[in-house]
Amino acid sequence: MNEISSPVRRARSLPPLLSMRAFEAAAAHLSFQRAAHELSVTPSAISHQVRALEDTLGRPLFRRLTRQLALTPAGQRLFDDLRAGFDALEAGIERLRQPAALQAVTLTTNTAFAARWVLPRMAGFRKACPGIELRLHASDTLVDLARGDADIAVRSGSGNWPGLTVSELMTEQYAPLCSSMLGLKRVSDLPKHQLIHADWQPGAAAPATWPRWFREAGIAPPRGRSMKAAGLSFSDETHAILAALAGHGVALLSLTLAAEELRSGALVQPFGPALDTGSYFLATAQGRENEPAIRGVWDWIASQAAAAA
């Protein structure tokens, strides 16, 4: 720091803290004996510190009566000031000892993304953002962010949502996945295996369904009963993943949500094509994107998505 432009702090002209503490305790009790008990010292030590303070100030603070103490006017004024000062100091120290209040942020997303992507990363979030309490709202029903039903969302779709600040998080693709136990390698062997279906929300822009997959693969679908009636069907994609892991058939699954099983080899993608279903987006009500707690969650989710890319 530049010494010419920096202010010079004047040293405080205060008596020793020990003598002020001894006097404040003695004045509160009007007793050297009880003050000594409070401060865990001897009465003679209290008397010595008070006498030293009186010598420093050049005036008596107590009138020493028979078996009794009384404050002088100067002693009363000093006691009032010291008591207020020590009370403020004690309150400040207590505030420092208390843990900072956590800021709560509610993140809403669909049940599969919550279970498969967010929950496995929660321990990392607590380390990265110790001052934020992340509350997870898992639902396939959209909530009103503008009304404050949640603070931040991860949604899939087009990202065209008026009234929201939106940022693309990651693209999403679905592909046929199955357990390596099935030994499936060629498209021609697909009819030998059961198809696993997961429901999509009405109005989804580009749902990954088996009829769509057969069309884009240029392959005739199985004949006879409908594909859905002939296979296993689940309302939650997490259950479809578990069914595929157990070897019950082949499922069209999110390459994002099944990434860990693909890395470990528990699930395999025997062939394509992979279907584009849009992207995942971060969203919050316009005007809230720079609130510190929301920004902390937003940046953490974005960093996790970038690391997984």
Q: What pLDDT, on a 0 to 100 scale, did the predictor assign at position 8?
A: 63
The three-point CA angle 133-135-137 to 5° equals: 170
Amino acid at 299: D
How many percent of the chain have pLDDT more than 90?
Answer: 71
Mean pLDDT, the chain, rounded, equals 89
Q: What pLDDT, on a 0 to 100 scale, did the predictor assign at position 200?
A: 86
Quickly state the pLDDT bin for 6 (edges 50, 70, 90). very low
Q: What pLDDT, on a 0 to 100 scale, did the predictor assign at position 121?
A: 94
Q: Across residues 131-154, what is the average pLDDT? A: 92
Range scoring the smallest mean pLDDT among 9-23, 87-101, 158-172? 87-101
Runs of H (alpha helix) within the chain: 17-29, 32-39, 43-57, 73-97, 111-113, 122-128, 210-217, 227-230, 237-245, 259-264, 292-308
By three-state DSSP, how is residue 283 classified?
Answer: strand
Beta-carbon contacts of 153 under 8 Å, excluding residues fewer than 6 positions away, are 107, 108, 109, 142, 143, 145, 282, 283, 284
Sorted by where each starts, the structural domains of the chain and their CATH numbers stand as 17-97 (1.10.10.10), 104-308 (3.40.190.290)
Quickly state the pLDDT bin for 99 (edges 50, 70, 90). low
Highest mean pLDDT pick, 8-12, 138-142, 272-276: 272-276
Q: What pLDDT, on a 0 to 100 scale, did the predictor assign at position 206?
A: 83
Q: Across residues 123-146, what is the average pLDDT? A: 91
The bridge status of strand 250-254 relative to strand 195-198 is: parallel
Helices 32-39 and 17-29 cross at an angle (nearest 10°) of 120
pLDDT of 229 higher than 60: no
CA distances (Å), 115 to each of 52, 136, 258, in order? 69, 10, 11
87 HSE (CA, 13 A, CB side): 7
Q: Across residues 164-192, what is the average pLDDT? A: 93
The three-point CA angle 242-245-246 to 5° equals: 90
Distance separating alpha carbons of residues 238 and 263, to the nearest angstrom: 17
Amino acid at 213: W
Which two three-digit tokens encode residue 10? 């004047």
Quickly state the pLDDT bin for 91 (edges 50, 70, 90). confident
pLDDT of 289 higher than 70: yes
Q: What pLDDT, on a 0 to 100 scale, did the predictor assign at position 38?
A: 92
Range scoring the smallest mean pLDDT among 59-73, 114-128, 279-293? 59-73
pTM of the full structure: 0.66
Q: What pLDDT, on a 0 to 100 scale, did the predictor assign at position 83?
A: 92
